[in-house]
Amino acid sequence: MIPMTRTVWLVLLSMLVVYSASATEVAKYPVIEKIIDNLVTKHGYPKAELMQVFSQARLRPKVVAAMKKPYEALPWHRYRKLFVTDSHIRDGIDFWKRHTAVLDRAKREFGVPQHIVVAIIGVETRYGQRMGKHRVLDSLATLVVQYPRRRAFFSDELENFMLLTWEEGLDPLTVKGSYAGAMGVPQFIASSYRHYAIDFNGDRRRDLIGQPEDAIGSVANYLHRHRWQSGKPIAGAAIVKQASVADKYVTEKLKTNSTVARLTKAGIRSAVPSNGASPAALVRLDKGGAPDYRIVFNNFYVITKYNRSIHYAMAVFDLAEALRKRRVSG
């Protein structure tokens, strides 16, 4: 079924400044041609309009360079300092105060604590202050053409991006985001935007770029849909008797592989109250010369569904805890 916003989308395209076809060859790459064909045959896009859009895409080598050096690859003590700072906490409290009612409603409806939602938005875009300066079309086209290791993933995201712009009446040539194509206040990739974004302010639009209310509701919905367990622990310090023993239980996999009872029996105690039967895992972080052991639970790994990185999820958790404590203390 052709979306009702097709007319809006076509009007936007008619207003675009058409560049010379010689300025780019992106639309001529076989992988891009396949995406265009899929959009035409599976979704009923007008091919002429698609060619007009893709003729204006630009390959950006800096995008590939950024993909090869993600922040998450930094040692933990350096990565943490990027996000768990006094200014991040101060700005986060301001954001929380401005949107208290919306955050409270998201907590009631989805079971996700306010400080977790705020922390994710803080890590992603500094509470909407830094939503990315890369044109999403360029980023995704570049990664499809020049980043073969994840070509299938980004091909799917580029197709989803075009579908998203059509469904939501967005201009595909002006939407900006991260070098990996994530968009808006919560930095949703196109497929996540289409599947998990919600209208949380009642204006009948899912606007993650201009509406913090929709961003808050969508983050909470995303975690809820990935099986967030309301009221259950997330992570906490591990009290370790012998590092040599603890290291045998450390995992880098993005799932629990033990239980609280089993870890306790090995001399690894959790600093947060938890049921002995609770699934858990032990992770080890680099504090810069000393290990930082943490026991993590299912909710921690729900956060990794947002970004598949232990460093990312722990930065969210640490920032969230700092926000919660600051909020309680006033």
Give the residue from 156, 224, 167 showing the smallest Cα distance to 194. 167
Helices (H), 147-211: 151-168, 190-196
Which of helix, strand or coil describes residue 181? Answer: coil
Catalytic pick among 124, 157, 159, 213: 124
Residues contacting 100, CB < 8 A, separation 6+: 114
Provide the CA 274 distance to its chain's centre, in angstroms. Answer: 28
Establish whether 213 is a catalytic residue: no
138, amino acid identity? D
> Rounded to 5 degrees, what are φ and ψ at 157?
-70, -35
Return all residues near 97 (Cβ < 8 A) that are at least 6 apart. none
Q: Distance between CA atoms of 160 and 51, rounded to whole angstroms?
A: 16
Helix 136-146, helix 30-43: angle, nearest 10? 120
Q: Which residues are catalytic?
A: 124
